[in-house]
Amino acid sequence: MNEKVGNVFKRTIFFENPVIIQILGICSTLAVTNKLLNTLIMCIGLTMTTSLSSLSVSLMRKMIPRKVRMIVEVFSIAFYVIIFDLFLKAYLPEISVALGPYVGLIITNCIVMGRTEAYALANSPMMSFLDGLGSGLGYSLILLIVATIREILGFGSLFGFRIFGENFVSWTIMVMPASAFFVLAVILWIFKAMMIKKR
**Quick one: which of 70, 97, 122, 193 contacts another protein (CB under 8 A)?**
97
| Interface with another protein in residues 176-195 (CB under 8 A) | 176
Quick check: 33 and 149 in contact, CB under 8 A? no
| Listed ranges 88-96, 124-132, 138-146, 160-168: which one lies at the site for another protein (CB under 8 A) | 88-96
Report CA 102 to chain centroid distance, whole Å: 12
CA dist list (Å): 26 to 63, 108, 120, 129, 162: 33, 12, 22, 23, 28
Alpha-carbon span 141 to 125, nearest angstrom: 24
Q: Rank residues 1 and 90 by Cβ distance to another protein and give the closer one.
A: 90
CA dist list (Å): 10 to 37, 133, 137, 138: 26, 12, 11, 9
Half-sphere exposure of 35 (CA within 13 A, CB side): 10
Contact call for residue 95 and another protein (CB under 8 A): no
Alpha-carbon span 136 to 74, nearest angstrom: 17
Contact call for residue 100 and another protein (CB under 8 A): yes
Count of residues in contact with another protein, rule CB under 8 A? 31
| Interface with another protein in residues 27-66 (CB under 8 A) | 34-35, 38, 63-66
| Interface with another protein in residues 111-140 (CB under 8 A) | none
Q: What is the DSSP letter of 169?
A: -
Q: Rank residues 71 and 194 by Cβ distance to another protein and give the closer one.
A: 71
Quick check: 12 and 18 in contact, CB under 8 A? yes
Binding mask 138-167 for another protein (x = CB under 8 A): ----------------xx------------
Contact call for residue 76 and another protein (CB under 8 A): yes
Residues that bind another protein (CB under 8 A): 34-35, 38, 63-68, 71-72, 75-76, 79, 82-83, 86-87, 89-91, 93, 97-98, 100, 154-155, 170, 172, 175-176
